[in-house]
Chain A
Amino acid sequence: MTARRGSVRHEVRLACTPERVWGLVGSAERLAEWFPGVTSCTVHGDVRTVVTGAGLPMPEQILTVDQHLRRFQYRITAPLFIEHLSTIDVHDLGDGTSLVVYSVDAEPAPLALVIGGAARAALLGLPDVLGLASPR
């Protein structure tokens, strides 16, 4: 037996307010600014189309942009994916810092690792993008 569906979660704590982080990661059209290997992205309504470094167009459906909860959810709808849901949550830790959690669920399972691995690199790059000190 092997898992058909994979689930991966990564997180980073940042030395800045959640509003500042959310201003970046909660803005669908700004993905290429902080997600490595995304060369362009366009948004039309709830459809976002990402082009990867390998030249692959990756269509996505934006499911949730909750400004109060600071939650962004999207589904990759490329044919390779039987199912996919990624969730980005920005938590206020109450001390001027934030916790960003990126969760990826996908079938086939290997795609959860692929998307999750890139998401982790994106999280680790946020301090640079936001001009902050290294992750705490």
Chain B
Amino acid sequence: MARKILLVTTDQQRYDTLGCNGGSVARTPVVDALAAGGVRYERAHPQSVVCMPSRSTILTGQHPTTHGVWMNGVPLPANAPSVAGLLHDAGYRTALVGKAHFEPYLDPFLRFPENAVPPSGTPVGGTHRGFEHLETATHGVMGPLHYARWIRTEHPEAVDGFYATLDASLQVNAAGGGDTGAPQVKVNPVDRGCYHTDWVADRTIAWLDSLAADDDWFCWMSFPDPHHPWDPPESEVGRIDWREVPLPAGYPEDRAQREAILDAKPRHWRAWYDGTLVSNYEAPAAWVPATLTADQVREVNARNAVECELVDEALGRVLARIGERGWGDDTDVVFTTDHGELQGDFGLLFKGPYHVDGLLRLPLVWRPAPSVGAVPAVVPGPVGLVDLAPTLCAIAGLEPPGWMEGRPLPVDGADAAARGFERVLTEWDSELFGTEVHLRTLMRDRWVCTVYLPGTSHDGSEGELYDLVDDPLQRVNRWDDPAVRSLRTDLVADLWDAQPPARADRLALEAPV
């Protein structure tokens, strides 16, 4: 028998939302315990800060430039390589439960297989991207995914309690709610057991229960939370009084200070803040960040923390079931997310072409199967989500294939140093109705270096350079600082030298998301 693999992802979760990473708002004892018994990564970075490209990286072990999903709405090709496919071919039973999003969601023609998986969860043709079982969910209750169909059928009374993720114009909804009127916040009276977090855990447990005791299995359990909307079950919201939530360190409460910081960054930062430019689909087009209040930041953070706690508790239930099945000692657990959330940093929410820690620094914990006797460790240096697929191969005893661009994750700092884990790349490309933004970012040593390619708001000369040691909040853009000019030159050269191979053909944008 091989080691079993539980890959747990959330959606849009910040590094600092976990207790093991220093977070103080949400209680996350389950993930904290995994970290205490495994490897915790302090600098895990996505290769894109939006869902579809990042999730495609997790699945393929490739950078967006290579797998081709350059922005949300670009479907991952049906024949794209898949670590799940490798594991399935090696004899693993494979499942994905929860949010997939390798293919666009806005799909009235039901053209994409991911949106048309039969109720049984068995894809047409037997597998889809290597998964023999797919039960899908996302943030809302509309559309063809399994969770949405289930709640509309079994609990129709609950449907109206959820926040409508899109407005009547099919834009990301800007409507506010809760106590402060914060965008994407709503009081949701749904029973906790009917909320998608518990549904994902329930369906994961059901799939695990369907397996034979001696099956090897790989399950990607993919929670839609704590991505907005922030509409967790009302019964749970009282866990955290938003009035007592401290403002995040990244939120400059003084307006003049906030705007001065933004003004020192490339111009699209301030333009979005002022509501004069919306460069991408992922944030509400009708929402102006300059209107965000300190209390709204507190309430968003409180609700986000509640969602993180629910995920943690749901994971605890799944781990308990794994233990009851007798698999506890032989199961590797990897916990991470696809990208971060600004969550008040710089007076902003949501995500976009803003390569700073709020979006770039992710929670990542790997608790190897206890039977292998791994030594708990912390890895301080940079690793990427691109390294996950090779890691899953290594866990299964498979040699990572040549098409994977990452490497099996280091097991401690010394391993990282010995194997040369020095840099991570992140990229952004968006082209939406005439507005385009293109960024390439390198994380290396103590620096975050972003170069801008020509676009609607940029002429290609702009950049960002942050010293993570002296300026952990990335408030001082040193791109034009003569004192670090030679360093900047070196980092930029390294960034371009390290770029992955690009696809020969450019994939088409086929939907907004």
The stretch of A19-27, A48-56, A89-97 that contacts the partner chain: A48-56
In the complex the two chains form, is B107's CB within 8 Å of A54's CB? yes
The A-contacting residues of B in range 254-301, CB under 8 angstroms, are: 275-278, 281, 285
In this assembly, does A108 line the interface, its C-beta being within 8 Å of a C-beta of chain B?
yes
> Complex: how many Å from CA A56 to CA B143?
11
Contacts of A52 on B, CB cut-off 8 Å? 108-110
Chain B, residue nearest A79 (CB): B168
Could you list 20 A-B pairs, sorted by A, with CB under 8 Å?
A1-B275, A1-B277, A2-B285, A36-B109, A37-B110, A38-B109, A52-B110, A53-B109, A53-B116, A54-B108, A54-B109, A110-B170, A113-B73, A113-B509, A113-B511, A113-B512, A116-B510, A117-B73, A120-B508, A121-B510
Q: Number of residues in B with C-beta < 8 Å to the partner?
A: 30
Contacts of A36 on B, CB cut-off 8 Å? 109, 111
Q: Quick one: given A52-B108, A121-B111, are A113 and B510 in contact (CB under 8 Å)?
A: yes
Option from A3, A80, A110, A118 in Cβ contact (under 8 Å) with B111 = A118
In this assembly, does B104 line the interface, its C-beta being within 8 Å of a C-beta of chain A?
yes
Contacts of B187 on A, CB cut-off 8 Å? none
A81 to chain B, nearest CB (A): 10
> Complex: how many Å from CA A115 to CA B171?
16
Contacts of B285 on A, CB cut-off 8 Å? 2
Contacts of B278 on A, CB cut-off 8 Å? 1-2
Partner-B contacts on A (CB < 8 A): 1-4, 6-7, 10, 36-38, 52-54, 56, 58, 80, 82, 108-114, 116-118, 120-121
Chain A, residue nearest B434 (CB): A3
Interface centre among B107, B108, B281 (most CB of A within 10 A): B108
Q: Nearest 6 A-B pairs (CB), nearest first?
A: A37-B109, A117-B510, A53-B110, A108-B169, A2-B285, A3-B433
> Complex: how many Å from CA A103 to CA B18?
48
Option from A6, A54, A116, A120 in Cβ contact (under 8 Å) with B110 = A54
In this assembly, does B158 line the interface, its C-beta being within 8 Å of a C-beta of chain A?
no
Chain B, residue nearest A6 (CB): B433
> Complex: how many Å from CA A130 to CA B121?
34
In the complex the two chains form, is B433's CB within 8 Å of A114's CB? no
Consensus secondary structure, chain B interface: loop
In this assembly, does B410 line the interface, its C-beta being within 8 Å of a C-beta of chain A?
no
A10 to chain B, nearest CB (A): 8
In the complex the two chains form, is A118's CB within 8 Å of B171's CB? no
> Complex: how many Å from CA A114 to CA B433?
13
Consensus secondary structure, chain A interface: mixed
Chain B, residue nearest A54 (CB): B110
B326 to chain A, nearest CB (A): 42
Option from B170, B508, B509, B510 in Cβ contact (under 8 Å) with A108 = B170
Chain A, residue nearest B143 (CB): A54
15 other A-B residue contacts (CB within 8 Å) besides A36-B111, A112-B433, A120-B508: A1-B275, A1-B277, A1-B278, A7-B433, A37-B111, A80-B170, A82-B169, A108-B168, A108-B170, A110-B171, A110-B512, A117-B73, A118-B510, A120-B510, A121-B111
In the complex the two chains form, is A117's CB within 8 Å of B104's CB? yes
Option from A4, A38, A56, A120 in Cβ contact (under 8 Å) with B169 = A4
Chain B, residue nearest A38 (CB): B109
Chain B 495-513, CB-CB to A under 8 Å as 1, else 0, gives: 0000000000000111110
> Complex: how many Å from CA A50 to CA B275?
38
In the complex the two chains form, is B170's CB within 8 Å of A1's CB? no
> Complex: how many Å from CA A53 to CA B116?
9
Interface centre among B169, B276, B278 (most CB of A within 10 A): B169
Chain B 413-435, CB-CB to A under 8 Å as 1, else 0, gives: 00000000000000000001111
In this assembly, does B106 line the interface, its C-beta being within 8 Å of a C-beta of chain A?
yes
A50 to chain B, nearest CB (A): 9
In this assembly, does B144 line the interface, its C-beta being within 8 Å of a C-beta of chain A?
yes
Chain B 85-108, CB-CB to A under 8 Å as 1, else 0, gives: 000000000000000000010111
Contacts of B170 on A, CB cut-off 8 Å? 80, 108, 110-111
Chain A, residue nearest B433 (CB): A3
In the complex the two chains form, is A53's CB within 8 Å of B111's CB? yes
Chain A, residue nearest B104 (CB): A117
> Complex: how many Å from CA A112 to CA B434?
13
> Complex: how many Å from CA A52 to CA B168?
20
B350 to chain A, nearest CB (A): 14
B139 to chain A, nearest CB (A): 16
> Complex: how many Å from CA A117 to CA B110?
12
> Complex: how many Å from CA A119 to CA B171?
21
Option from B106, B107, B275, B435 in Cβ contact (under 8 Å) with A110 = B106
A119 to chain B, nearest CB (A): 10
> Complex: how many Å from CA A7 to CA B115?
25
Option from B106, B144, B168, B171 in Cβ contact (under 8 Å) with A114 = B106
Contacts of B512 on A, CB cut-off 8 Å? 110, 113-114
Option from A1, A110, A117 in Cβ contact (under 8 Å) with B276 = A1
Contacts of B106 on A, CB cut-off 8 Å? 110, 113-114
> Complex: how many Å from CA A117 to CA B508?
8
A73 to chain B, nearest CB (A): 20
A77 to chain B, nearest CB (A): 15
Contacts of A117 on B, CB cut-off 8 Å? 73, 104, 508-511
> Complex: how many Å from CA A6 to CA B144?
25
> Complex: how many Å from CA A125 to CA B509?
17
B78 to chain A, nearest CB (A): 12
> Complex: how many Å from CA A118 to CA B168?
21
Chain A, residue nearest B110 (CB): A53
The A-contacting residues of B in range 427-462, CB under 8 angstroms, are: 432-435
